[in-house]
């Protein structure tokens, strides 16, 4: 393999294009191949890549050309399992967008199939790489707040956007909102808290969004607001507060961790705000000063996506793992458990009960 990592991007809708734009600003990386079944998406990608990039509308054709070192899978959630099964025969590095699959069962099936895979399989969990979030994680792990006891994550944002063929309007295609969107937050909880989830209880509903829409005569069935509580095995409590009818919120994510010594919080500006900086604030119980650290993101990096610079930093980490032959920072197991917690939360709402993670036989 040369020093430049050659990427093949499968699926070039919103997220695939964000990956391309970020690869374009990384020196030792380039997009050499694109595969998308939709002509419009291929055309949009065409405007972002070099003339030499090859285009395919069939995955097997892309695979047979054998021109990439690494593949990114950024197709609709329900297609992941089939694409993953087919792409395993390439023995190339893989970065698969979250959620790994739409169900825990499919994630487990894939984990088994991939158990002897010798290359990197990395689940795309961009929120880990948002600079202010990364800073918060580092401070918590440095014990600045003492022993963490509570972690709360609030996401207040706009409704789901329209996607190619509107696949994201139905839970059968996405896994449900708490899998599709919120696997990010359950992954963050595990990472910050450094423990495994034990039980999940949630309350949520589709109260406002998409109720007037119809697709082939059917109304969308995706939750637009929820509170989810996750109890971890080490006794720490996590809570997610999700609202998807909160356009124009100043911050899209607000994350607060409290320990026995103090509290740390950060606020991620919404991408619409265009703000390139945020703060990480620390308040200790025995000191009445608030320590505030500004975290800035370079404007060029910010402009390459909608996730506060995170996709860029995720690729730097992915490339480093390839070059140094190390394990993925976000493993298949991480992808699997984040889906399982989301599925548990959806189940808790549907069945009006506490869901124990042991039910999933992870």
Ligand X SMILES: NC(=O)c1ccc[n+]([C@@H]2O[C@H](COP(=O)([O-])OP(=O)(O)OC[C@H]3O[C@@H](n4cnc5c(N)ncnc54)[C@H](O)[C@@H]3O)[C@@H](O)[C@H]2O)c1
Name the site residues for ligand X (rule: CB under 6 A).
Answer: 10-16, 35-38, 41, 59, 74-77, 79, 97-98, 124, 126, 163-164, 180, 307
Q: Minimal distance in Å, beta carbon 356 to ligand X? A: 27
Nearer to ligand X, 134 or 307 (CB): 307
Distance in Å, CB of 77 to ligand X, minimum:
5
Residue 60: CB minimum distance to ligand X, A? 10
Question: Which of 54, 163 has the CB closer to ligand X?
Answer: 163
Minimum CB separation of residue 198 from ligand X in Å reads 26
Contact predicate 353/203, CB 8 Å: no
- On whether the CB atoms of residues 72 and 10 are closer than 8 A, the answer is yes
Specify the DSSP class assigned to residue 207.
-
Q: Nearest approach, Cβ of 116 to ligand X (angstroms)?
A: 25
Helices (H), ranges, the chain: 14-23, 39-46, 59-65, 80-87, 104-113, 131-141, 171-174, 177-180, 183-193, 299-302, 310-324, 332-351
Smallest separation (angstroms) from ligand X to the CB of 27: 23
Question: Do residues 160 and 192 touch, judged by C-beta distance below 8 A?
Answer: no
**Which residue number is nearest to ligand X in terms of Cβ?**
13
Helix 310-324 vs helix 14-23: angle between axes, to the nearest 10 degrees?
A: 60
The smaller minimum CB distance to ligand X, of residues 75 and 206, is found at 75
CA distance 72 to 116: 20
Kindly tell me which of 98 and 169 has the beta carbon lying closer to ligand X: 98
H/E stretch holding 31: strand 29-35
Buried b (16+ CB within 10 A) or exposed e, 152-164: bbbbbbbebeeeb
Complex with ligand X: residue 167 or 201, whichever CB lies closer: 167
Cα distance between residue 102 and residue 98, in whole Å:
9
User: Which one, 38 or 195, has the nearer CB to ligand X?
Assistant: 38
> CA torsion sign, 212 to 305 to 337 to 119?
positive
Quote the least distance from Cβ 229 to ligand X, whole Å.
23
Q: In terms of CB distance, is 61 or 260 closer to ligand X?
A: 61
């Amino acid at each position: 393999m040369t020093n430049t990592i050659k990427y093949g991007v499968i699926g070039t809708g919103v997220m695939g294009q964000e990956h391309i734009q970020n690869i374009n600003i990384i020196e030792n990386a380039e997009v050499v191949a694109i595969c998308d079944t939709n002509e419009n998406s291929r055309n949009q990608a065409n405007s972002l890549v070099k003339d030499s990039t090859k285009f395919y509308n069939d995955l097997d054709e892309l695979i047979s050309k054998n021109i990439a070192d690494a593949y990114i899978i950024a197709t609709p959630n329900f297609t992941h399992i089939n694409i993953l099964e087919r792409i395993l025969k390439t023995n190339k590095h893989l970065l698969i967008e979250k959620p790994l699959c739409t169900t825990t069962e499919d994630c487990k099936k894939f984990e088994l199939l991939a158990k002897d895979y010798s290359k990197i399989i990395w689940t795309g969990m961009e929120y880990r790489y948002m600079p202010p979030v990364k800073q918060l994680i580092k401070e918590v792990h440095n014990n600045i707040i003492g022993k963490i006891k509570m972690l709360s994550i609030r996401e207040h944002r706009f409704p789901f956007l329209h996607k190619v063929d509107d696949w994201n309007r139905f839970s059968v295609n996405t896994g449900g909102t708490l899998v599709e969107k919120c696997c990010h937050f359950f992954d963050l909880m595990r990472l910050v808290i450094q423990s495994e989830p034990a039980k999940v209880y949630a309350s949520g509903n589709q109260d406002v969004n998409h109720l007037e829409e119809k697709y082939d005569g059917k109304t969308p069935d995706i939750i637009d607001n929820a509170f989810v509580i996750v109890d971890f095995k080490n006794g720490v409590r996590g809570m997610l507060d999700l609202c998807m009818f909160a356009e124009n919120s100043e911050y899209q994510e607000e994350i607060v961790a409290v320990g026995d010594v103090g509290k740390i919080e950060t606020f991620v500006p919404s991408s619409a705000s265009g703000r390139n900086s945020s703060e990480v604030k620390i308040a200790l119980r025995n000191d009445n000063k608030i320590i505030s650290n500004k975290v800035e993101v370079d404007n060029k990096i910010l402009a390459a996506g909608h996730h506060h610079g995170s996709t860029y930093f995720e690729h730097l980490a992915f490339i480093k793992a390839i070059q140094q032959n190390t394990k993925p920072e976000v493993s298949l197991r991480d992808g699997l458990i984040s889906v399982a917690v989301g599925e548990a939360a959806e189940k808790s709402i549907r069945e009006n009960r506490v869901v124990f993670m042991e039910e999933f036989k992870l």
